[in-house]
Amino acid sequence: MTSTVEVRLADGRAYPVIVGAGARTSLAGVLPAGTRRVALVSQDGITFPVDPGCEHRGFAIGAGEEAKTLATVEALCRGFAAWGLTRRDCVVAVGGGVVTDTAGFAAACYHRGVPVVHVATTLLGMVDAAIGGKTGVNLPEGKNLVGAFWQPAAVICDLDALISLPERERRSGYGEMAKYAFLGAPTLTDLELEGAVAACVRLKGDVVAGDERESVGHGAPNQRALLNYGHTLAHALEVDGAFGLRHGEAVAIGLVFAARLAERLGRIGPDRVAEHRRVVASYGLATDLPAGHDLARLLGLMARDKKAVDGLTFILDGPHGCEVVAGVDPDVVGEVLAGG
């Protein structure tokens, strides 16, 4: 049994997100009409079988964040061209966030845009990475600094893919689910997995519908930027690479740090900080920075964050909920970082 959440965009476009055990059997039915061939993009080691119901060929990318590069996008596009992929065809990304981010960007670039469908095989991909049309790759200078907004034609979240998911990868997904708890999602821990995933998808879809292209700095309400709650420090920790953190693990630490920073700026009180710690810890995730972090390096990396259009910029909790806060004093950020 599956459930479908419609992601509706401001100009009338919409696409389905199908959630549930066995959802992958819906793949052929959600391909764009007239699709002749499908480029299946995945990683070595991902053995989740899908059948697009038409001619298809597999294209493998490397494992881990190291694969999210412009070189990988070039290799994919050259592979598509050699096979003769056209705009009447479709890219299907099968995997976690690395695959959907990279394959989605390649689809956005190739022939200036071919359709893409995401088949998420990780909890993190299901509740976040595969939803909303953000695609991109990393540079040595920062995470996701090159990319495009390219909405998928559909997203499939087959819960059967999570049966063999390593526990650490599952916890990484919980890091993003913890974020949604502070953005207005229901009490996710009270829901069955299908309901929890669907609730996260529904919340993200609503936010994306109101601000599809994350219009921070352009006079828009910046609603989509709120989905980056906890991510300013998280991305810095990931780029630093010294601690080997999964994305959701870094987000969990970033959520608690953001709460502590908000408290330091007088936006929230200690009870709200304690609530952040409680929610994050309830998912079995660490709440504090790893020992031995390089404070100066983390500050430098956070200054390169995509939201940093006017000095250090964070999503911070406050009396009216989470908001984009620009121009945060680096000395104050450093003091909070130094506190652990």
Residues labelled as active-site residues:
112, 134, 176, 204, 214, 224, 228, 231, 235, 247
Contact call for residues 152 and 120 (beta carbons, < 8 A): no
If we measure between CA atoms, which residue out of 101, 106, 141 comes closest to residue 118? 101
Angle, helices 167-181/247-264, rounded to nearest 10 degrees: 30
Contact call for residues 41 and 94 (beta carbons, < 8 A): yes
Contact call for residues 41 and 91 (beta carbons, < 8 A): yes
Contact call for residues 30 and 156 (beta carbons, < 8 A): yes
Contact call for residues 193 and 23 (beta carbons, < 8 A): no
Neighbour tally for 130: CB within 10 Å: 31
Residue type, 128: D
DSSP alpha helix (H) spans, 149-192: 167-181
Q: 145: which 2 tokens? A: 């600094």
CA-CA distance, 24 to 301, in Å (whole number)?
38
CA-CA distance, 97 to 103, in Å (whole number)?
10
Q: 232: which 2 tokens? A: 């300013």
Neighbour tally for 13: CB within 10 Å: 11
Contact call for residues 75 and 94 (beta carbons, < 8 A): no
